[in-house]
Amino acid sequence: MIAIIDYGMGNLHSVSKAVERLGYEAVVTSDPERILASDGAILPGVGAFGDAMHFLREAKLDDVVRAYAASGKPLLGICLGMQLLFSGSEEHGEHEGLSLLPGRVIRFQGSFKVPHMGWNKLEFKNPDSPLLDGLEEGHAYFVHSYHALPERASDLLAVTDYNHPVTAIVGRDNVYGMQFHPEKSGSLGMALLANFLKLCGAPDRKKEAEADVG
């Protein structure tokens, strides 16, 4: 079972359906026990960093996410969910993050259009990562005004170019993040999501068969 963590901010339905299309059981939940018992967990997010951390703390899910990461089971942050994995953000003031990855989230600066919106090509920086296994560089769909600056180069799995290199995929041990929405990024996005799900264990073959029939 894959837990889609519900803290009130995220594209829960689209992520859940994408997981199910890949043959895995998905449950949208804010129940700590169900999250901690899952084979893999996804932290989605749309909106402002500070609001997201507030809702996570209010629901007492910030420590649940940290505990899940410490368990060694695969955790994936998507879009704002990826940014929350870092130490903090300057979005609308200074806010502390989950501190699962060292680094900060800052606003794009320059005389170019913000938010960054559209299809951009990924450049793999660590092709040996299991998240990138068997994949070729291609395009993903981005919508964001802030971007992450990891402190450790080894945590950077892929970048894209938007007037300068921009963090696109991060990962260390069992903790991963994607700045774009993989479920909205065509075949490459779904392949990346499938690679993450493989880390969570074997798919539910019954659901996989039902998806093929559909």
Residues annotated as catalytic are 79, 181, 183
According to DSSP, the residues that pair with 77 across neighbouring strands are 43, 177
In DSSP notation, 41-72 reads EEE---S-HHHHHHHHHHTT-HHHHHHHHHHT
Place of tokens 């479920």: 183
DSSP class per residue in 77-116: EETHHHHHTEEEE-TTS-EE---SEEEEEEE--SSS-SSE
Whole-number Å distance between alpha carbons of 186 and 58: 35
**Both ends of the chain: CA-CA distance in Å?**
21
In contact, 137 and 162? CB cutoff 8 Å: no
Cis ω for the linkage preceding 115 (within 30 of 0):
yes
